[in-house]
A = this chain, B = another copy of it.
Amino acid sequence: MGRWEPNARGRLEEAALELFAEHGYDQTTVAQIADRAGLTERTFYRHFADKREVLFGGGTVLEEALAAAVREAPAEAAPYDVVAEALVRAASFLDEQRRDHAPRRQAVIEAHAELRERELGKMAAWVSTLADGLRERGVEPRLADLIAETGVAVFRTAFATWVTDTRAQDLRSLLREAFADLRAATAG
């Protein structure tokens, strides 16, 4: 055991989520979050770049999973399928690891424009990751961007349903359906 209580970062995340849910994002100050976690405001900023970021800590896991999925896809797979499959893998991860946590978190995010914007920024980073992966597979740069953007757009709609409808199917299935729907809509 160290000098301090362990898992300061985790305590801050939990305290923040509770306070945001109780009093709202705007009405919660960083000092209050730090207080509830038994720390000071300054220490909060040593763990998170800004107040919003406390809700987006685990983002890198998904991003690395996407990069790996693109890298490991069979060489002969079409770019669109590579992206779709990578996102389906990410969806499976969320199904298994975040089924309970996600709706609670998402309710806070959707209630505030600032947080929605940050969420969009995180997904834009996925686009870059996916597009980079495609380019390394020899896909033409323009097309890589186009397919990555589209894939994440599809993911967003499936994700929206998943976190809104608690009784909805698993994200993996929703995502596969959405990809199929898009194929049908564009073919029309």
Interface residues of A (CB under 8 A from B): 78-81, 113, 116-118, 120-121, 124, 142-143, 145-147, 149-150, 152-154, 156-157, 160-161, 178, 181-183, 185-188
Contact = CB atoms under 8 A, between A and B. Distances in A.
Number of copies: 2
Contact of A185 (B124, B147, B185): B147
Given A186-B186, A187-B186, A181 B146 contact: yes
A84 to B, nearest CB: 10
Contact of A143 (B149, B150, B185): B185
Given A120-B121, A142-B157, A143-B181, 4 more contacts: A117-B118, A117-B120, A146-B182, A152-B153
